[in-house]
Amino acid sequence: MWAQGRIGAQLLSRFVGLQRPMGLMSWDGSRRGRATLISGQMVADQILHGLKDKIQRLETIGIQPCLVPVVVGQDPVSQIYLRKKLEAARAIGLRMRIQHVPAEVSSAELMALLDHLNRDEHVHGIIVQLPLPSALNAIDIGNAIQPAKDVDGFTQQNLGALVQSSEVARLSILNHIPCTATAVKKILEIGLAGHDWTGQRAVVIGRSLNVGLPIALVLESDRQNGGFDMTTTICHRNTVDLGASTRHADVLVTATGVPNLIRPEMVKPGAVVIDVGLNRIKLSDRVKLVGDCHPGVWDVAGYMTPVPGGVGPCTVASLMYNSVLAANRTAIRLSV
C-alpha cells in the first residue's frame, strides 16, 4: 500500500489526529472502511492552541482582537458557517461583531460600510460572508477590504502575494493565506506529520479563487516559501476524463460541491484524500451534510478527511488564527 510504503510504519505511530473510521458504510453496503480517518477537530485544536493566551496578552496592552463578519441577506448555509465561527471565537475569547446588511444593499453602500470598517482601529479582521446576492460582484467587494484586515486572504494583494510566493510576500505584514488553503496545509503538516511530500503528485479538483486555486498554489509552491513542492494538477468542470488525472494523485483534494463526484475507482490505492466539499443533501427524513467523495472511497484511500469534521473545523480555526495574527500585527505597528 502506498501510504504504508512511503510513509513507513515507524512514522505512523507519531501521527497526530488519526483515527480508524468507526462503523462506516462502504459503497457496496458492507461495513468496512479501510482508510485512516484524519480528525479535523484534532488538527483544528492544534491551530487554535495558544490563541487564547495571545488574545489575553493583547488585551493587557489595550488591544481587544475583533473580527467583523459582514452578512448580506439571510442565506441559510451562511448562517450555519457563521454559527461555527461564533462558537470558535467564543472558545478562544475573540470578539466577533456581526454586521447584518439587507440583501438589497447596493454595491456602493456595501463598499462604504467596508471603508468605514477599514478605518475603524478597533476592527482587526473583516470577512464578507459568501455567497453574496447575484447583483453584487464578490471579487470587487472582497477587494474593498484593506489587505491587512482581509483575514480570508481574498484580496488581489493577498492572493497576489500567494501567487508570487516570494520571501518578501510571505513575510509582508499584509499577507493572509486563504483559510481553506491553510486548513489543507495544516492537515498535511499536523495530521500527517513527518512526511516529506516533495515531488509527489497532487491533484486539486476545483479552481475557484477562494478555495481550489489557493490550495493548489500552496501544494505546488516551494518548501522554503512554506509550500509542499508537489507536482500539482488542477482539474475543473471541463476536465475531460477526470479519473485519468485523479488516479495519479498521491494527494487528492476535492473542492467542487458535487456529491459523489469522486468514486472509488478514481482514487489511487493508499492515497491521501482531502474532501473540502460541503453539500447538503435532502433525505426523506432529514438533511445530511456530505462531501464530494462517494463513501466507497474510504475502501481505497490510505488516509481521508471526513465530512463533516474534516476540513471545516480547520478552516474555521485558520480564520481565528488569521484574525489574531492581524491584531498582533496592529500591536507590532503600534510599538514601532
129 flagged as catalytic: yes
Among positions 14, 90, 100, 237, the unique one binding ligand NAD when judged by CB under 6 A: 237
Residue 10: active-site member: no
Grid coordinates in use for 45? 485544536
Cα 146-150-154 angle, rounded to 5 deg:
110
Could you give the 3-state DSSP secondary structure of residue 233?
Answer: strand
Burial of 298 (0-12, 13-18, 19+ CB in 10 A): buried
d(C-alpha 213, C-alpha 231), whole Å: 14
Per-residue interface string for the shown chain with ligand NAD, residues 187-226, x marking contact by CB under 6 A: ------------------xxxx-xxx--------------
> With contact defined as beta carbons under 8 Å apart, do 214 and 180 qualify?
yes
* Residue of the chain from 235, 273, 301, 325 that contacts ligand NAD (CB under 6 A): 235
In this structure, what are the phi and psi dihedrals at residue 238, rounded to the nearest 5 degrees? -100, 10
d(CA 34, CA 302): 7
Helix (H, G, I), strand (E, B) or coil at 262: strand
> For ligand NAD, which stretch binds (CB under 6 A), given 1-9, 13-21, 147-155, 257-265?
257-265
Closest CB to ligand NAD among residues 66, 235 = 235
73 binds ligand NAD (CB under 6 A): no
Which of 114, 148, 219, 311: binder of ligand NAD (CB under 6 A)?
A: 311
Closest CA to 136 of 114, 111, 115: 111
- Which is closer to ligand NAD, CB of 275 or CB of 299? 275
Q: Which three cell numbers stand for residue 192?
A: 500527517
Q: Per CB under 6 A, which region of 102-110, 135-143, 253-261, 262-270 contacts ligand NAD?
A: 253-261
Question: Is residue 40 a contact point for ligand NAD (CB under 6 A)?
Answer: no
Regarding 322 and contact with ligand NAD (CB under 6 A), the answer is no
Radius of gyration, CA atoms only, the chain: 20
Query: Is cis: bond before 264, omega within 30 of 0?
Result: no
Nearest to 43 by CA among 270, 319, 274, 311: 311
Instruction: Candidates 134-142, 144-152, 225-233, 252-260: pick the segment binding ligand NAD (CB under 6 A).
Output: 252-260
259 belongs to the binding site for ligand NAD (CB under 6 A): no
Per annotation, catalytic residue among 152, 250, 275, 299: 152
Site map for ligand NAD, 137-176, x if CB under 6 A? ----------------------------------------
Q: How far is the CB of 227 from ligand NAD (least distance, A)?
A: 20
Q: Is 7 in a helix, a strand, or coil?
A: helix
Cβ-based neighbour number of residue 99 at 10 Å? 17
Told to judge if 152 belongs to the known catalytic residues of this protein, a careful annotator would answer yes
Q: Segment contacting ligand NAD (CB under 6 A): 50-58, 141-149, 264-272, 309-317?
A: 309-317
Q: Which residues would be at the binding site for ligand NAD (CB under 6 A)?
A: 180, 205-208, 210-212, 235-237, 239, 242, 255-258, 261, 276-279, 311-312, 315
**Catalytic annotation, residues:** 85, 129, 152
